[in-house]
Structure 1
Amino acid sequence: MTTTLTLRRPDDMHLHLRDGAMLQAVLPETSRHFARAIIMPNLVPPVVTGAQAAAYRDRILGAVPAGQRFAPLMTLYLTEETDAADVIAAHDSGLIHAVKLYPAGATTNSAAGVRDIARVQHVLDQMAEHGVPLCVHGEVTTSDIDIFDREAVFIDTVLDPLRRKTPGLRVVMEHITTADACAYLADAGPDLGATITTHHLMITRNHMLVGGIRPHYYCLPVAKRSTHRDALVALATSGATNVFLGTDSAPHLDSAKETACGCAGVFSATNTMSCLAEVFDGQDALPHLQAFTSENGASFYGLPLNEGTLTLQRGAPQPTPGKLPTPDGPLTIFDPGRPLHWQVV
């Protein structure tokens, strides 16, 4: 039995850091393990211009603890008023690495997102021409579509037509949650990749709903039934090169989660690597963990591989960390609902 595993230092290809005091509190939970992360732009107000992305990058770098090295990979928030020239200039300069499409109303801080995809087609055309990746929150938002079906409907009615209309556009299907998404990815070419979160590899909707509503498992897209979770695990651990880690770690104060209308988001930065080692070990797939966490995402984004390493050790299960304190109150760290035998050392 393998008891020690050394990996190339990983990347998180989908991360929320927020801003201000929250940024200061949560960034060390990522930077102690991860070399880089694709930073989500859904602040309030959102990061929509290159100048705003540069200012946000500086605030992130200012919050990196002494002695740690961490590179934020910035993105821009796509709106129906986005200036294509600004996008291309920010990408060509190396400032941003992608643009994020939020369907308006799909998730946290998405009100400024896109309502009519036709209104941003000229931006997408320029992105395809200049090699700027599009990261997609893949859910429709129409009220007549059940929340558990919104990803599958988005693939059929929005994503596939968008890709057919915009050949050459590099697209990342963010935080996929369904067997439908796994199947679509398998039939796609090299211009399509996908991220899978830590929590969607471990939980199902039962974790959120059985025995009472557990708000710290509530995220968007919501966790689905076990058949979908099993399809995600099979894909992530298969060695497929077009799928990679994006934790979607999304901090919210307990006071915002534990309420009559709680926020969507799971905070998993602290224990992601322990969770992933548990999942891959359970599938006898530890040799594929490095590709999923440290190679596939870098390859898709055209980045050099990290030179540092991270080591995990298998031993007696450790208790799940409970809370992370912040100046404004605690936030709850993801509880995988099973023992974790792997720990970063």
Structure 2
Amino acid sequence: MTQSFTIRRPDDWHLHLRDGAMLRAVLPETARHFARAIIMPNLVPPVVTGKDAAAYRDRILAALPDGMSFEPLMTLYLTETTDAADVAAAAKSGLVKAVKLYPAGATTNSASGVRDFDKVRGVLEKMAEVGLPLCVHGEVTDPAVDIFDREAVFIDRVLDPVRKATRGLRVVMEHITTANGVDYVKSQDDMGGTITTHHLVINRNHILVGGIKPHYYCLPVAKREEHRLALVKAATSGDPHFFLGTDSAPHIDALKEHACGCAGCFTATNTMSVLAEVFEAAAALETLEAFASLNGPAFYRLPPNEETITLTKGDPVTYPDRVDSGDGPVTVFDPGFPLHWRVS
């Protein structure tokens, strides 16, 4: 049995770092293992312009502890007033690697998102022209649609029409949670799909059975076990359409354990150990490098990292239960099983 293996240093293609004290607390948890990450722009106020992205990148780099190596890959938050020329200039400069589409009201800090897709048509066409990917939070926000169906409905109502109307637009469907999402991404050219650590581990029973578990509540919400199994099959397949985007989303415990708790799982600390357990259980350790280190750079047209990490199996690895943010503790995702794979 494999007891140790080495892969290229991984990247995270969907990460929330927040700002201020929270940024300073959680950035080292990612930079310890990951070389690069696509940084989500849903701050308050959001990262809308190239100038905003440059300022946020500088704050991230200033928060990076001495001796750590990490490259933030910046994104812009798509609004109905986004300037196509500014997007193109930010892309040309190399500063911005993608634009993020949040349907208005879909998740944390998404109030500035898009309601009328006709108003962003020009931006999407410019992105297709310059080859800049669109990252989509793939859920409709129609209150008439059941929360467990919002991803599947988004594909039919929004994603497929947008792609057909904007030929050549490269799209990442982020944090896929359904077999519908897996099947759609696999069937498309110029498209990728990120899969989170926690959606490979939990289904909706983990959130609801035996009492509400707020630290398993996320958006998109975890679905039935059949969908989790479809995600595991996609992630472990080696298919280049799929790559790691943790959607690690820190909230202080006081806001998670609340009458109206925040959505998000904080997985940055232990993701690689969790993934090794998931891939080993699927008899697919040989494809972990593709999922975590190769497929994402290939989609974003970037070189894979030259550095490597080694994962070694042994006695259970202990991670902190919480990270202190300065504003309050942030609970680290608990996969519910022992972790035997250690990163070095």
TM-score range, shorter chain: over 0.9
Distance 1:64 1:235 in 2: 33
Moved more, 310-319 or 156-165: 310-319
* 2:230 matched residue in structure 1: 231
Q: Larger deviation: 4-13 or 313-322?
A: 313-322
The residue number in structure 2 matching 1:170 is 170
Deviations, residues 3-27 of structure 1 (Å, cap 9, x unaligned): 1111100000000000000000000
Q: Aligned equivalents of 2:152 and 2:200: distance in 1?
A: 18
Unpaired runs of 5+ residues, structure 1, are: none
How far apart, CA to CA, are the structure 2 residues paired with 1:186 and 1:194?
9
Aligned-partner SS, 2:340: strand
Distance 2:79 2:291 in 1: 31
Which residue does 2:205 correspond to in 1? Answer: 206
Measure the CA separation in 2 of the matches of 1:324 and 1:312: 23
CA distance in 2, matches of 1:175, 1:307: 26
Offset, 1:320 = 4.8
Name the residue aligned to 1:299: 298
* Cross-structure match for 1:27: 27
**1:77 match:** 77
**Identical-pair percentage:** 70
Shift of 1:341: 1.3
Q: Does 1:342 align with 2:341?
A: yes
Q: What is the deviation of 1:255?
A: 0.5
Describe how 1:88-107 pairs up with structure 2 within 5 A: 88-107=88-107
Q: Give the drift of 1:319.
A: 4.0
For the 8 Å contact 1:320–1:335, the answer to whether it is kept is: no
Q: Which residue of 2 aligns with 1:141?
A: 141
Shift of 1:217: 0.3
Report the equivalent of 2:191.
192
Structure 2: which 5+ runs fail to align?
none
Distance (Å, rounded) in 2 between the aligned partners of 1:160 and 1:231: 21
TM-score (structure 1 length as normaliser): 0.99
Which amino acid in structure 2 is aligned with residue 202 of structure 1?
A: V
CA offsets 1:258-298 (integer angstroms, 9 cap, x no match)? 01000000000000000000011111111100010011000
The Cα shift of 1:186 comes to: 1.7
Q: 1 CA distance for matches of 2:325 and 2:132?
A: 35
Instruction: Name the residue aligned to 2:182.
Output: 182
> In 1, are the aligned partners of 2:269 and 2:319 still within 8 Å (CA)?
no
Name the SS of the counterpart of 2:315 in structure 1: strand
Look up the match of 2:38.
38
1:56-106 Cα shifts (integer Å, max 9, x gaps): 000000111111110000000000000000000000000100000000000
Aligned residue for 1:152? 152
Report the Cα distance in structure 2 between the residues aligned to 1:138 and 1:327, rounded to whole angstroms: 32
RMSD: 0.7
Cα deviation for residue 317 of structure 1 reads 2.2
Aligned to 1:54: 54
What residue is the counterpart of 1:250 in the other structure? 249
